[in-house]
Amino acid sequence: WFTLLLPVMLPGLLLLIFSKQVPDRLPVAAVDLDQSAVSRQLLRALDSTPGLKITVNLPDLTAAASRVRQGEVYAVVVVPRDFARALIRAEQPRIQLYYNRQTLTAGNLVLREVRTAVTTTAIGLSVAQGVSPAVLVESHALFNPGLEFGRFLALPLAVAVLHVLMVVVALDVTGRELRNGSAGEWLNAGGGSVVMALLGKLLPYMAWFVLSGLVILAAMLRLLGIELDGSPGIWALGWLSLVLASFGLGAFLLGLFGNLRLATSVASVLVSPAFAYSGMTFPASAMDGFAAFWAQALPLTHFLHLQAAQVLMAAPPAAALGSLGALLLCSLLPVLTLPRWRRWLTDPDSWGQA
């Protein structure tokens, strides 16, 4: 029962973690070396942005750096001396921003908010002085305009967790038959057919993950406020293909090694870091050599790309054909180990191993 509840519990935990989809009011320190009306206007503009909150004003950079090291603030904004005078002279004074790149998400958010506030303030001052602003770039964020982490991380991470769980379940329910020495009875229950024995063991779990996964992911879409802009049928077919591929991968690994402990260890190496190679955080197109090959070899990569295309980008159904084909090929992996499966199921000497 616990195994059946995990597909509900783990995505639910992720939903709680990402219930606040956009981090806001991140603490920032300010060092105003100019102490002018213009510098104070700039700092007020920074403090009014939704992503930042200036929690402390400090006299110098040394004191501010200490706050960053202690984790009290994520960044330090330094307004240089003669900032207002340089603006009046139509020069280009530089606002200095020191931010912690160890916390990559928070650092990037701070950088974005500071750039926006500084640009807006500078344009307002230039117009007030009768100076035409320089050429501006008008940017439009596609598919995730609010930069919400629910769209970016929650849904893909839920799929990644379910993928790991499905591979582990496939290994566990089949591997226990070998470990407990009941493989012969299992094969007889399948009428002496390895294929029927595997299907009879795995199909109930596969059906549960197909149905529960679709319900859970659809509920997450609704609770996160994400509309499915593409084809629901293609997305559901993609999920079915991922379930088949995940259970196929588990059955392939156990058939290859015939040892539950060894197969589980290899599976953990394959599927645990799969999200990092999926292209959801680091672009797959920027990967080189083995990393690029490995990303394409993992089934999770193909489903997450299909999901992003269908859920967020309203891609045409034809765009999913490559991903669906890769997932279905992965689901056929156990066919390669059928001779070894017959050996494990008919050789009592291979039973009872951990």
260-293: pLDDT as tens digits = 999 999 999 999 989 988 988 777 778 888 888 9
For residue 34, give the CATH number of its domain: 3.40.1710.10
- Asked if residue 199 and residue 52 are part of one domain, the reply reads no
Q: Rounded to an integer, what distance in angstroms lies between the CA atom of residue 46 and that of residue 118?
A: 8
The C-alpha atoms of residue 354 and residue 350 are separated, in whole angstroms, by: 10
Do residue 203 and residue 334 come from a single domain? yes
| β-pair type (96-99, 75-79) | antiparallel
Residue 134 lies in a domain: no
| Statement to judge: residues 124 and 235 lie in one domain | no
Query: Long-range pairs for 16-22 at CB < 8 Å and ≥24 separation?
Result: 17/154, 18/149, 18/150, 18/153, 18/154, 18/224, 21/146, 21/148, 21/149, 21/150, 21/151, 21/154, 21/224, 22/50, 22/51, 22/146, 22/147, 22/148, 22/149
Count of structural domains, the chain: 2
* Opening angle at CA 283, ends 291 and 7, nearest 5: 85
Q: How many CA atoms lie within 13 A of 27 on its CB side?
A: 10
Q: Is 145 helix (H, G, I), strand (E, B) or coil?
A: coil
**Which tokens hold the place of 40?**
């104070």
Q: Are 202 and 108 contained in the same domain?
A: no
Shared domain check, 215 and 66: no
> What is the per-residue pLDDT across 81-107, written as a single tens digit (0 to 9) for each?
998 888 777 777 888 889 887 777 788
Same domain, 190 and 328: yes
Residue span of the structural domain in which 64 resides: 23-128
pTM across the whole model: 0.81
Domain final residue pick, 128, 161, 182? 128
Same domain for 157 and 261, yes or no, is: yes
CB of 83 within 8 A of CB of 31? no
* 104 and 68 belong to one structural domain: yes
Q: Which is it for strands 96-99 and 52-57: parallel, antiparallel or unpaired? A: unpaired
Confirm whether 179 is domain-assigned: yes
One domain, residues 188 and 325: yes
Quick: pLDDT tens for 223-268: 888 888 889 999 999 999 999 999 999 999 999 999 999 999 999 9
Q: Is 14 inside a domain boundary?
A: no
- Domain co-membership, 176 together with 68: no
**Domain assignment of residue 18, yes or no:** no
- For residue 8, give the H/E element and its range: helix 2-17
